[in-house]
Structure 1
């Protein structure tokens, strides 16, 4: 097993939307078909409000309280008799405030079959943006466009003459949402902030959080350079340090034992990095892993298309940035390719096939190693700015490698491919 095998990361597709900037804190609701629509911040009908309109008002007030830092306002619509639910709402509020929530809006749809009289059951989606990013417009029918969201099923009843949220669950409302459960949703987090990075995790990881923040701040400075090349600056990077419970739960969890970190896109608003505390013992390896994952945030944060065919470049550019200032031949990737060449021969292209579920360890390692050498070759021959332009065109603009190569390098990809294969052979 090569020295750096354990830090290989999980590839997750990145998404982007054509953005329409929404005003901070704006709330737009999708009402049920059998009740009047509400599309402004505060409905002012001449008739009494229906129970569902009352529900919309409660959610609107909560979104405004969340963005303004009003915890009492956030908790005000809740029925205090449900202590477990109230405790969860407190956790959500405090975590999101610490994570610099800058935009929040609720969208709700009534569930007619479960609602009757003064009781309303609705699927409510909390759309949010963090750290002042430009928040895209809401997308009703898609989990992957628009702002990230967390969906809940809420029950609203009349309690002592006023409508209150009496229950909140995940059941039914969060189906197919790859961003649920979020790390901030149901566990109190310890949050540390640096100049460029926010690091968060359960209190049991407090000591590790300090280590990760120091490493992440250093990594962010390096990655910012490459973000500048492709005009994708990040207001903040976020890194979550997961204990085993969080690792198996956050964003759906990860089953593969060899993965110790991954990046997940927050729709069109950047990405989060998740690290497995159990596997992040060696500080040098941890530093490389953090920089690798932050590189994914920069190079993948705004793609709405699948990058499955370009996995060699997805991981290669992250390996390149993550390993700097070391050259690929000074890392474990050299040993990987030496073994690959000996056992399987030299690959026919730097664009090695993407991984399948049945890929063995050497196949996985080879993709990462070839990607590292390939990007290092292109940087050596054409410079980092042109390398990043090529990367940006392929991974964030959905261009084919040949079109990107002709634009960035002035040569067809077949020529670059052939020359880089020769470059790699001389160094392995």
Structure 2
């Protein structure tokens, strides 16, 4: 299951801050997503739990985290209903639809209203007497429409408490943005489209089944994509050619600065996306105030994280930046470019990258720092200190971080990854570096197989050559 990729705050802790995107400095750190919650009682089996957020992001001046994906077209899969009986003596009359089936149909029409941009129809499924609930649904609609939602589908389970006059459901909303190819529905949170789940109560008002109550606590507890930034808070937006930037109204002035830097970084990310045939329709960047930072996607507790990228399964990823840590324009630019690099090098992959954190963060560091070389960034100082205190690692593929890793260990992983990817780029070119990266991170190949395919050499040979290359430059 996907884990967020974080950017460390370079000013945090004893080790020098990196310019590239390792662990959080004013811009972020990587949390591990919680286990997905079951969709509810039969007819659907419970959703297998997603892994808990437990890995510590590397400490680098600009790190980011990764998260989930979505589907295509406003469609909903519901329990099949009987075909209407034909009016002849040979067939029995069709049975009337059950209250749950009627509610399921209503949810399907609400998803269609969302993708069509029909706010009036979307709100027609909410009890107008519940003013707070209406406001939440209006906010959700306007945020999602501005974020260019292009696919929405509801899937529901009937829950206990359903009667002839009340229907209680566990409803999952799957979504995709900006016209991406939405994957087929899957019940797991880390497969198919990105999802949010709600416990909804329907009752009849003037002869129509409408939503009278929404409870999202079950989803928030088990789904690492909840609460989403767009879900329950009005956002302010600015849009460029390639990037949408959003945040609370208090951050309105900062959004334009972030957009300018993100548009520039997107040109770099697009080039590398082309190398791995993973073009992105749009990039999305959220600027979080302290409330959003502690709440969105489960929140970030580590003080050294300044930004992260949350994968939306196979359909891309969202970038979240901490507004409080965005004063340094140079560091902010690197953080954004690092996080966009995570999107293009990871989206649509297998997500089984636990053993390859050196490459996950290394290639993001490499792309994030461009056009600077690693020896012209804070990573040079990190490795100088690390080599003096602990000696040089035996391989460029340094072990992934333990939960209790200290600052120097975290910084060393990011810095070694930066130097290692820069070495491979210097020896074989960017295109082959990205081919190697793609094989390992998105196609789940082992480094040796990927190295033989991309470089025509065993990984052990490349590893030895790059250790020597790094030693000459530190």
Equivalent residue for 2:74? Answer: 25
- Unaligned ranges ≥5, structure 1: 32-36
Equivalent residue for 1:10? Answer: 30
- Unaligned ranges ≥5, structure 2: 1-14, 33-64, 87-92
Q: 1:297 aligns with which of 340, 343, 355?
A: 343
Correspondence list, 1:126-141, <5 A = 126-140=173-187
Is this contact kept in 2: 1:25–1:67, CA < 8 A?
yes
Q: How far 1:39 sits from its partner (Å)? A: 10
1:68 is aligned to 2:116: yes
Correspondence list, 1:27-426, <5 A = 27-29=76-78, 31=79, 37-38=80-81, 46-111=94-159, 113-140=160-187, 142-426=188-472
* Cα distance in structure 1, aligned partners of 2:322 and 2:166: 43
State the Cα deviation string for residues 393-416 of structure 1 (Å, max 9, x = none). 000000000000011001100010
Q: How far 1:201 sits from its partner (Å)? A: 0.6
Matched residue SS, 1:292: helix
State the Cα deviation string for residues 307-332 of structure 1 (Å, max 9, x = none). 11000000000000000000000000
Aligned residues: 416
Is this contact kept in 2: 1:14–1:302, CA < 8 A?
no
TM-score calculated relative to the size of structure 1: 0.93
Is this contact kept in 1: 2:68–2:194, CA < 8 A?
no
* Cα distance in structure 2, aligned partners of 1:11 and 1:196: 27
* Cα distance in structure 1, aligned partners of 2:260 and 2:82: 45
Higher RCO by CA contacts (8 Å cutoff, separation 6 or greater): 2
* Cα distance in structure 2, aligned partners of 1:408 and 1:173: 42
* Cα distance in structure 2, aligned partners of 1:176 and 1:330: 42
Is this contact kept in 2: 1:240–1:275, CA < 8 A?
yes
State the Cα deviation string for residues 29-69 of structure 1 (Å, max 9, x = none). 2x4xxxxx3499x9999332211111112111110110001
Matched residue SS, 1:238: strand
| Distance change >3 Å, CA 293–CA 262, structure 1 → 2 | same
Is this contact kept in 1: 2:270–2:280, CA < 8 A?
yes
Q: How far 1:80 sits from its partner (Å)? A: 1.1
* Cα distance in structure 2, aligned partners of 1:127 and 1:427: 49
Is this contact kept in 1: 2:237–2:246, CA < 8 A?
yes
Is this contact kept in 2: 1:15–1:305, CA < 8 A?
no
Q: How far 1:267 sits from its partner (Å)? A: 1.1
| Distance change >3 Å, CA 173–CA 330, structure 1 → 2 | closer
| Distance change >3 Å, CA 120–CA 211, structure 1 → 2 | same
